[in-house]
Chains A and B, each alone.
Chain A
Amino acid sequence: MSAAALDGRRLTRAAMARRVARDLPDGSYVNLGIGLPTLVANHVPAGREIIYHSENGILGMGPEPEPGQGDPELINAGKQLVTLLPGGAYFHHTDSFMIMRGGHLDVSVLGAFQVSASGDLANWATLDDDFPPAVGGAMDLAVGAKRVLVLMTHTSPDGSPKLLRRCSFPLTAAHVVDRVYTDLAVLDVTPEGLLVREIAAGLSADDLRGVTEAPLLFADELDVLH
């Protein structure tokens, strides 16, 4: 399949977020990373109650306020105005990172630059020295949650693969990623390597291998990504 044809099979950002949202269990405590993962909250199936954590000391975080109604101190990790749901709570930073590092979150959904075949995560720094480094809560989110899910495009904007044998960018954490959701596939990190569970409609195994540097295994019952 040509690159252009393959591009036509990619899920939209909203569809990617919807796919992850389907896997968030009812009643779970979830942290959504900044950027693409933040969109997941907009696509949770009706009837499911998810308790969102924000690193700056919020559990039970709600959607953005009506225009003009916001509390200027009440922001999320991406520095956007948010609200607190009934039952929500505030706490200080040290407690908030206890929640993250201490294994109290059920799911952390993170963006990434690169993920390796063994679940190494690179999502905080590139090799570009023009910018000062910044890490924020990325390393704490990667090491602590019971399940670490990565939501990212399958390839970078220049077309280079992001699923690699070994990450070339500086590591956030080693052996932490449980599952990767891309615009072309859903893959589990297993002891044997990356196992494709779902693949975009119309793509062959070789098509996916063509845009992936890491070796791929394919599930016996491969589902169509939607």
Chain B
Amino acid sequence: MLDKRVASVADAVAGVQDGAVVLIGGFGSSGIPIELTHALLEQGARDLTLVTNNAGSGETDVAALLRERRVRKIICSYPRSKGSTWFEELYRAREIELELVPQGTLSERMRAAGAGLGGFFTPTGADSNLAHGKEVRVIGGRRHVFEHPLPGDVALVKGDRADRWGNVVYHSAARNFGPTMCTAAALTLVQVRQVVELGELDPEAVVTPGVFVDRVVEVRP
């Protein structure tokens, strides 16, 4: 029997290694897998590379991992936001490495990883200093920069409902990076508000098919 349900967020993050590349969903305050992120903090893995759109805010989730010095490097598009004080402190102290990636390129690099592609050429950023050191090619008369795939060792994603096969549906704009991150990691962990029986999710409305998901944990609001 295929059953991806686990009993707790602690069970979900079991086995994450030091040095892991961790994809964490969310855009601003929307769609952050807060409980899975806190479970990773409790689990203790360190020397992590985080891939996430923002570099945390306040004292919770990503900011908590930064505060506790668990993160060696962050790959993100917009690290500077209201309350990103822990990131800024580590950045100024040169205690964290930042790889800045345009938002669409960040998502597409993970898509390429999930799709088994070796990368792609994009016009985004091709004329900017973010293209320094990268291959630039003129395609259709326009400059494009080559971007590598960005796979994760583990992905932490917030869904709304899921079943034991790992099919997931999302809630409004909390979807954001979740479906792409699910495809791009060796181990995909999804927290949902509710785990439902097989057949309860409308197959026409499933956003992430279960094949992309390894563990599902219910986190009641």
Contact = CB atoms under 8 A, between A and B. Distances in A.
A97 B107 CA distance: 8
A159 interface: no
Nearest to B207: A92
A143 B79 CA distance: 22
Contact of A57 (B91, B123, B130, B173): B173
Interface in A173-187: 173-174
| Secondary structure type dominating chain A contacts | loop
Interface stretch (B6-14, B39-47, B98-106): B98-106
Given A57-B173, A143-B124, A170-B128, A133 B100 contact: yes
Interface in A119-145: 120, 124, 131-140, 143-144
B180 interface: yes
Contact of A73 (B82, B103, B172): B172
Given A173-B128, A174-B127, A132 B178 contact: no
Interface residues of B, number: 47
Interface in A140-161: 140, 143-144
A104 to B, nearest CB: 13
Nearest to B144: A143
Contacts of B17: none
A28 B79 CA distance: 32
Contact of B29 (A79, A90, A101, A124): A79
A73 B30 contact: yes
A131 B178 CA distance: 29
Interface residues of A, number: 40
A185 to B, nearest CB: 26
B180 A93 contact: yes
Contacts of B28: 56, 75, 79
| Secondary structure type dominating chain B contacts | mixed
A97 B104 contact: yes
A10 B40 CA distance: 53
A84 interface: yes
B173 A132 contact: no
B20 to A, nearest CB: 22
B124 A73 contact: no
A91 interface: yes
A85 to B, nearest CB: 13
B96 to A, nearest CB: 10
Contact of A139 (B102, B173, B174): B102
Nearest to B177: A93
B170 interface: yes
A100 interface: yes
A57 B104 CA distance: 12
Interface in A50-101: 54-58, 71-75, 79, 84, 90-94, 96-97, 100-101
B176 interface: yes
Given A92-B180, A92-B207, A93-B107, A135 B100 contact: yes
B155 to A, nearest CB: 13
B188 interface: no
Contact of A137 (B77, B82, B128, B179): B77
A171 interface: yes
A54 B78 CA distance: 16
A92 B175 contact: yes
CB-CB nearest 9 A-B residue pairs: A97-B104, A140-B104, A174-B127, A79-B28, A73-B174, A134-B80, A136-B78, A92-B179, A93-B107
Given A79-B29, A135-B100, 11 more contacts: A56-B27, A73-B171, A74-B172, A75-B27, A132-B98, A133-B79, A134-B81, A135-B101, A139-B125, A143-B123, A171-B128
